[in-house]
Amino acid sequence: MDDKLQTKLTLLPESPGCYIYRDENNEILYIGKSKCLKNRVKSYFHSKQIGKTARLVRQIRDLELIITTSEKEALLLEMILIQKYQPPFNIQLKEGPSYPYIKITNEKNPHIEVVLEVKQDGAHYFGPYPGRYSARQTVELIEKLFPLCRCDGKPGRPCLYYHLGLCLGPCHEEIEPAVYENQIRKISRFLEGDVKNVKDKLMADMQEATEKLEFERAAELRDKMHAINETIEKQHIIFPGLKNRDIIGCYEQDNHLSVFVFFVRNGAINGSKWHVFEIEKSLQEDLANFINHFYDDPNNMQPKELLIAEKIAKKLLKEPLRKACLFPQKGGKKKQIDLAVENAKSTYIAYAKMKEYDFEKELNNR
């Protein structure tokens, strides 16, 4: 380790922020964040490292810090910097947040699966979900509650999933389209928040099975109730009610507009996306243009309800969006918008720090 880097390690602050490692050619190797820069950065050099981290440490020749006022601000700044500079040792965050969706395929015997891209293929899509694990758990629950097809659908010997009650059994006999359509309707209602009615039905069926001394069936229904509790209700429910909605917060400063979008599914925040750009016309017009373009992307599925922080003329929005948008001024929905606005402000502060960092580097390189 050279003297310059050694000196910097003795002057590390206990503040939150981002750290940037550079190699002998002054190229960025890695960008990280921490609520205590002193402890985090020192751990790279004062602890024994293995694998990829050891290779990283061997290449580090210089260190830069960007101090932030909070851990949340450091997280946002880290995302912005990684997407801009694409460091080789940062595997995640390079392409920005990408969320999985649940897909019911458009075919004779539809399957349910987890995908990372929404296509215009006539299939049913639900989401986004916060991660593959969450989406996969939900799919496994759906397969227990409302099975579709889990085999190749070729008639012949019934598949194992059919015997386990996890497949409708097109391998056993022809399944009418109306049967699949009914299951898909149930899945849609369930994923859109109709959890209580499903649990009430399972409870009633379980009690009926118990009264008829059908204990094996009662145990199956009990297990399904448990699966709902473990999968759906274990999600961090942050908002009352189970309506699916997107919440769009915005913050304006120095002729820039920061927009932050929360995806709320079944009362839980399932993900978020953000964007900062220079205002060209007016806040309302540019925000409307952003929203129109945002939902033109098939991977940004429009829910039934959009809560928008800034009141804009509905005529500036495309027709499907006009019916969905609301501009709450009080109550619970206003509190949800306030949370999105707070995150939009934090995003702008992180963005401004990134621009300041770029400017300082440009001056130093002259």
Q: Is the pLDDT of residue 242 over 60?
A: no
The reply to whether 87 and 130 lie within a common domain is no
What pLDDT, on a 0 to 100 scale, did the predictor assign at position 135?
82
The reply to whether 277 and 166 lie within a common domain is no
- Among 70, 96, 122, the domain boundary falls at 96
Query: Could you say which DSSP state residue 231 is in?
Result: H
Q: Is the pLDDT of residue 326 over 50?
A: yes
What span, in angstroms and rounded, lies between the C-alpha atoms of 43 and 56? 13
Structure-token pair, residue 195: 């959890």
What pLDDT, on a 0 to 100 scale, did the predictor assign at position 236?
46
Flag whether 239 is in a domain: no
Structure-token pair, residue 236: 């961090």
Beta strands in 120-212 (DSSP E): 124-126
Question: Pick from 330, 331, 329, 343: which is nearest to 248 by CA?
Answer: 343
62-67 and 17-22 beta bridge pairing:
antiparallel
What pLDDT, on a 0 to 100 scale, did the predictor assign at position 159?
92
The reply to whether 85 and 13 lie within a common domain is yes
- Contact call for residues 320 and 301 (beta carbons, < 8 A): no
What span, in angstroms and rounded, lies between the C-alpha atoms of 366 and 347? 29
What pLDDT, on a 0 to 100 scale, did the predictor assign at position 331?
87
Question: 159 to each of 142, 148, 175, 177, 229, how far by Cα in Å?
Answer: 18, 13, 14, 20, 29
The reply to whether 17 and 77 lie within a common domain is yes
What span, in angstroms and rounded, lies between the C-alpha atoms of 152 and 144? 18
Q: Please state at what angle helix 37-46 crosses helix 51-59, rounded to 10 degrees.
A: 100
What pLDDT, on a 0 to 100 scale, did the predictor assign at position 237?
46
Strand, helix or coil for residue 90: coil
* Arithmetic mean of pLDDT, 246-261: 94
Count of C-beta atoms within a 10 Å radius of residue 192: 16
Task: Classify the phi-psi angles of 255: left when phi > 0, otherwise alpha if psi is within -120 to 50, otherwise beta.
Answer: left
Flag whether 196 is in a domain: yes
How confident is the model over 103-143, as pLDDT tens digits?
A: 999 999 999 999 988 888 889 988 777 677 778 888 888 89
- pLDDT band with cut points at 50, 70 and 90 for residue 239: low
Q: Is the pLDDT of residue 355 over 70?
A: yes
The reply to whether 50 and 112 lie within a common domain is no
Q: What is the number of structural domains in the chain?
A: 3
Among 153-157, 196-200, 227-231, the least confident range: 227-231
Mean pLDDT of the chain: 85
Question: 135 to each of 129, 140, 217, 257, how far by Cα in Å?
Answer: 6, 9, 27, 32
Flag whether 155 is in a domain: yes
Within 70-175, where are the H helices? 71-85, 132-145, 160-163
- Among 36, 63, 96, the domain boundary falls at 96
- pLDDT band with cut points at 50, 70 and 90 for residue 50: confident
Residue range of the domain that includes 77: 3-96
Question: 8 to each of 54, 64, 301, how far by Cα in Å?
Answer: 20, 9, 47
Flag whether 340 is in a domain: yes
What pLDDT, on a 0 to 100 scale, did the predictor assign at position 175?
93
* Arithmetic mean of pLDDT, 160-182: 92
What pLDDT, on a 0 to 100 scale, did the predictor assign at position 5?
85
Partners of residue 267 on adjacent β-strands? none
Query: What CATH number corresponds to the domain at position 19?
Result: 3.40.1440.10
The reply to whether 222 and 251 lie within a common domain is no
* Arithmetic mean of pLDDT, 150-173: 90
Nearest 10 degrees: Cα torsion 181, 105, 246, 72: 140
Flag whether 365 is in a domain: no
- Among 61, 96, 131, the domain boundary falls at 96
Partners of residue 30 on adjacent β-strands? 21
The reply to whether 203 and 169 lie within a common domain is yes
The reply to whether 217 and 254 lie within a common domain is no
Question: Pick from 123, 104, 122: which is nearest to 113 by CA?
Answer: 104
Flag whether 362 is in a domain: no
- pLDDT band with cut points at 50, 70 and 90 for residue 284: very high
The reply to whether 146 and 208 lie within a common domain is yes
The reply to whether 125 and 204 lie within a common domain is yes
Flag whether 70 is in a domain: yes
Q: What is the residue type of 152?
A: D
Query: What CATH number corresponds to the domain at position 276?
Result: 3.30.420
Q: Is the pLDDT of residue 363 over 90?
A: no
45 burial (CB, 10 Å; 0-12 / 13-18 / 19+) is: middle
Q: Is the pLDDT of residue 93 over 80?
A: no
The reply to whether 330 and 227 lie within a common domain is no
Flag whether 87 is in a domain: yes
Among 60-69, 130-139, 276-285, the least confident range: 130-139
The reply to whether 110 and 92 lie within a common domain is no
